[in-house]
Structure 1
Amino acid sequence: MKFIVNFAKTIRNHWKKSIVFTGIGIYGVKYANELYEEDLLRREYCAEAKKFGDQASSFGEKSRKITVFLNPAARGGRGRKLFEKNAAPLLYLAGIEVNVVKTEYEGQVKEFFKYLETQHVDGIVVAGGNGTLVETVTGILRKENTTFSRKVPVGVIPVGETNMFATYFYGADKTEVRRMLDAAMAVVKGSTEKLDVLKIEGDGGKTTYALCGLQAGVYRDARGRASKYWYLGPLKHRFTYLRSSFGLWPPVMHGKLEYTEARDTDIPVKKAAEKFIEEKPAQQSRSFVMSILGIFSGHFRSKMQKAAPEAEEDEVEVEYTNTHTVDTNLESLEITISTGYQTQERKGISLGLAPANISKTHFISEGWRRISEPIWKMDWDTNSQVPCRRVKLEPEVNPEKESWYNIDGEQFEAMPIEVTLLKNKLKFFKCQTQPS
């Protein structure tokens, strides 16, 4: 009893220190509990991955070969640690043959794909942020061997600072650890989904490919400057929109815009796509007994992942006649060009244009509203949305001022571009339950 009385007097006499240490104690307990729950989650996923590995080895299945492009500099140098702690154990326990390629400079991944062929890998995994993923997608689709993009699926382990595509594809409502575990388990299970890709052709034959889309204008510029105000802490994301409203207003984008609308009256015309013929290795035959056992055990899963025949629609390219093209001057505060991944009816490219005459107050309030929206969101309700087959953009660039595009979260120099949509172009490892 005496101890309780003395403890109460101490708190009363030193109430300020007591509040501080109580807050620190509560935070410490909460942090320790989060670490404990994350550790339990890792154990649960590891146990599930081991079941796949044991099942494959018991029937003599050949190990799948996965090449991982790891950016160790991601997340301030924590990329390697995050991958090895959350994703790598699942891949190894599943009996997958993992070849890790650590990137050292920009453009290295694209160079690597010049020598990588379908017989070398059964899948590609990107362990990095937006930049590593853009390089990987671009490197795959620049290959002369088009069979590679049709047969080799891609996985993404989101260990970067911002993971625009992975946050959307693997779930924006999950913790970072859960998202990485789900992404790794998607590779283990091998279920895939075909996704559309934007082909962005620039001056000088420069071609980049995007999974989400392109954004340019005052909102992109404001968001890009937020890191300059690091000293404001979490308020930097709000201050950047306030600061961007100073000076000449409105900062309208000017240039030429040409787009072909996607209409129901467009007439599709199929033409044969160019094929890259490669020699296929002979398949290993199975005994009748092993085949029957495989049906009940589900071990044919990996076989189907490796050599599932492509549908006929993937062997043709579709062009359209009876189309309508609009040629106009660009006057807008913002332009977005996306794959239309946010909409249920994906008719084509989604072209978004913001009004050119909004007030500063409206700009600030809209910018602050976007802070709480998912990082992958691009087709904003405040912009007019036009479904298109093709978009050609020629922005007016001030030589005294830098102008940039945001492509899948990465910064690219603004230049004249032509954007087309490649339907069902790449296969990605997906979770069994996709985000709504």
Structure 2
Amino acid sequence: MNIIRTVRNNWKKSLFATAIGAWGLKYADQRWRDWNLMKMYCTEAKKYGDLMLKSTNRPKRVVVILNPAANKGKGRALYERNVAPILNLAGMEVALHVTQSEGQAKRIMMETVEKADAIIVAGGDGTLSEVVTGIMKRADEPTFSSIPICIVPLGQTNTLARTLYLPSVHNTVQFIAEMTLSSVSGGLKHVDALNVKGGDDKSVYAVSNVSLGLFSDSEIRKKRNWYFGPLKDRLCYVITAVRHWKNELKFSNIIFHYTVPCQGCNRCKELPKKIEYRWWNIFIRPQHKVLEKDYTDVVNEQCGVVKDTNVNFCHLDAFANRKANSLDVKLTSNDITKSDFIKKGWKRISKNPEDTNDTATISNNDDGNRNDIYLKKDGNDTDDDKDIHLNVASLTMNLPNDIADRKFIIDSEQFELMTPLTLQILPNKFKFYYARGNHVIAPESKIFKMPKFRNA
């Protein structure tokens, strides 16, 4: 009775103590489950390490590009706690490069790294973009770009990792550990690259998406509204609609120069060379390159032909269509209302623009080659949407000259907007590791429940 009377007489303190105790219990439960998850992943990695010790092959040499500033400065701690133990127990020879400034990851890939069996990018989308750009600017790019890449998602934005791997995993430790272990036991998947080139011929390479316009302006402005806390993600679109809704920020009468996608023809594919025989070929078979397919008789008159079209838009999203090896471009109409702009912006928070894309219908000829892009307005009866979808191989746009103070987004990173701006798809340019499945099933949120291995 004394306890009940004390609680009743001091209900504010009791409520505060209960809240603190509940938070502490939840925190302890999460740390306990994360510890057990890492224990399971380390056990799994040790199996591969033991096999490596028994074999006569040299250890797998991996180059790790670590961004310690990722995830608000937590990058190094996350790496040392969740990544390094798995790599060491798996018997890998690790060459660690820690970046200290912006752009250093690109310079490391261009100048420092020489040989590797795999490249591990420990950071976010910005670090990945720098690594990819550094690889593409190497003198030995054709051979070096064939080295598999593993993404360890330590950043706040991990667009490609979420797109390619485990979109249903929400546990940070499991996500990081699963991606790290994929460099040991995962499969390989080809990924397209985007070449973004400005008027000064400077190129930036991306693997996720390119975004420019009103939505990008709002998302860039998001960091300035940090004092709104979790509401800043939604308020940034409201602020744009109320304070920054100007016709000058929209793009009118923009000329697009584009080429249509091609699935392969005698114009764009390497053709077999005629073998010249010599007398010594009676004893030694002549060496020649074996091609996957002979495109000599495949004709596509539209391949590489530059066409023009005139469009109006307030926002552009471009990303690789990995199924069709082409560039999907989504244009938001200039006629969008403020309420529709806010509604679409809020949808972008919970959904990647790539997930909501409706691929345009393509006209095909008998050889399966695309003849032209198809511009369409969405015919959804439930949503009065006037978005235009384009499907191209390359796109060059001449933007207005008064864009010096505007920026656009490449793989979640900000860049100064350039004109003319060229986007080009590079099909199947890189190979990325992906997880074949969860090695450990994370437990439900129950106090101190141990995880179990996935059933075979």
Q: Same fold (TM over 0.5)?
A: yes
The answer for the alignment partner of 2:395 in structure 1 is 391
The answer (yes or no) to whether the contact 2:320–2:327 under 8 Å persists in 1 is yes
Does 2:72 correspond to 1:76?
A: yes
Counterpart-to-counterpart distance in 2, 1:312 and 1:49: 38
Does 2:326 correspond to 1:348?
A: yes
The answer for the alignment partner of 1:297 in structure 2 is none
Does 2:415 correspond to 1:412?
A: yes
The answer for the alignment partner of 1:107 in structure 2 is 103
CA deviation after TM superposition for structure 1 residue 127, in Å: 0.9
Residues 60 and 331 of structure 1: CA distance in aligned 2, closer, same or farther (over 3 Å): same
Equivalent residue in structure 2 for 1:40, among 32, 36, 39: 36
CA deviation after TM superposition for structure 1 residue 191, in Å: 2.5
Equivalent residue in structure 2 for 1:369, among 341, 347, 351: 347
The answer for the alignment partner of 2:267 in structure 1 is 269
Q: What does 1:88-99 correspond to in 2, within 5 Å?
A: 88-99=84-95
Q: Determine helix, strand or coil for the equivalent of 1:368.
A: helix
Counterpart-to-counterpart distance in 2, 1:28 and 1:311: 63
Residues 410 and 315 of structure 1: CA distance in aligned 2, closer, same or farther (over 3 Å): farther
Does 2:56 correspond to 1:60?
A: yes
CA deviation after TM superposition for structure 1 residue 424, in Å: 1.0
Counterpart-to-counterpart distance in 1, 2:116 and 2:49: 18
The answer for the alignment partner of 1:192 in structure 2 is 188
Q: What does 1:133-144 correspond to in 2, within 5 Å?
A: 133-144=128-139
Counterpart-to-counterpart distance in 2, 1:218 and 1:46: 46
Equivalent residue in structure 1 for 2:164, among 166, 169, 174: 169
Q: Determine helix, strand or coil for the equivalent of 1:246.
A: helix
Q: Determine helix, strand or coil for the equivalent of 1:331.
A: strand
The answer (yes or no) to whether the contact 2:153–2:175 under 8 Å persists in 1 is yes
The answer for the alignment partner of 1:128 in structure 2 is 123
The answer (yes or no) to whether the contact 1:338–1:379 under 8 Å persists in 2 is no
The answer for the alignment partner of 1:403 in structure 2 is 406
Equivalent residue in structure 2 for 1:253, among 236, 251, 254: 251
The answer for the alignment partner of 1:424 in structure 2 is 428
The answer (yes or no) to whether the contact 2:105–2:131 under 8 Å persists in 1 is yes
Residues 320 and 205 of structure 1: CA distance in aligned 2, closer, same or farther (over 3 Å): farther
Judge which range, 47-56 or 323-332, deviates more: 323-332
**Once the two structures are superposed, what CA deviation does each residue of 1:70-122 show, in whole Å capped at 9, x if it has no partner?**
1112222211110111111111100000010111222222222334566x211
Q: Which amino acid aligns with 2:301?
A: T
CA deviation after TM superposition for structure 1 residue 253, in Å: 2.1
Q: Which amino acid aligns with 1:162?
A: T
**Once the two structures are superposed, what CA deviation does each residue of 1:25-51 show, in whole Å capped at 9, x if it has no partner?**
112111111111111110111000000
Greater helix share, structure number: 1
Structure 1: segments with no counterpart, 5+ residues: 274-309
Q: Determine helix, strand or coil for the equivalent of 1:126.
A: strand
Q: What does 1:201-350 correspond to in 2, within 5 Å?
A: 201-247=197-243, 248-250=245-247, 251-254=249-252, 255-262=254-261, 269-272=267-270, 312-313=291-292, 321-323=301-303, 325-341=306-322, 345-350=323-328
The answer (yes or no) to whether the contact 1:164–1:376 under 8 Å persists in 2 is no
Counterpart-to-counterpart distance in 2, 1:205 and 1:72: 31
Counterpart-to-counterpart distance in 1, 2:293 and 2:64: 26
Q: Which amino acid aligns with 2:149?
A: V
Counterpart-to-counterpart distance in 2, 1:131 and 1:114: 16
The answer (yes or no) to whether the contact 2:132–2:205 under 8 Å persists in 1 is yes
Task: Report the TM-score, using the length of structure 2 for normalisation.
Answer: 0.78
Q: Which amino acid aligns with 2:125?
A: N
Q: Determine helix, strand or coil for the equivalent of 1:135.
A: helix
The answer (yes or no) to whether the contact 2:190–2:429 under 8 Å persists in 1 is yes
CA deviation after TM superposition for structure 1 residue 124, in Å: 0.8
CA deviation after TM superposition for structure 1 residue 374, in Å: 4.2
The answer (yes or no) to whether the contact 1:50–1:94 under 8 Å persists in 2 is yes
Structure 2: segments with no counterpart, 5+ residues: 272-288, 359-377, 379-384, 439-456
The answer for the alignment partner of 2:280 in structure 1 is none
**Once the two structures are superposed, what CA deviation does each residue of 1:348-370 show, in whole Å capped at 9, x if it has no partner?**
11011111111111111221222
Does 2:149 correspond to 1:154?
A: yes
Number of residue equivalences: 387
Counterpart-to-counterpart distance in 2, 1:311 and 1:371: 47
Q: Which amino acid aligns with 1:208?
A: V
Q: Which amino acid aligns with 2:416?
A: E
Residues 375 and 329 of structure 1: CA distance in aligned 2, closer, same or farther (over 3 Å): closer
Counterpart-to-counterpart distance in 1, 2:293 and 2:15: 64
The answer (yes or no) to whether the contact 1:336–1:379 under 8 Å persists in 2 is no
CA deviation after TM superposition for structure 1 residue 147, in Å: 4.1
Q: Determine helix, strand or coil for the equivalent of 2:226.
A: helix
CA deviation after TM superposition for structure 1 residue 163, in Å: 1.8
Judge which range, 43-52 or 65-74, deviates more: 65-74
Q: Determine helix, strand or coil for the equivalent of 2:328.
A: strand
Q: Which amino acid aligns with 2:308?
A: D
CA-based RMSD of the aligned residues comes to: 2.7
Q: Percent identity?
A: 32
Judge which range, 124-133 or 159-168, deviates more: 159-168
The answer (yes or no) to whether the contact 1:172–1:374 under 8 Å persists in 2 is no
The answer (yes or no) to whether the contact 2:256–2:309 under 8 Å persists in 1 is yes
**Once the two structures are superposed, what CA deviation does each residue of 1:369-391 show, in whole Å capped at 9, x if it has no partner?**
22222487573785332211111
CA deviation after TM superposition for structure 1 residue 11, in Å: 1.8
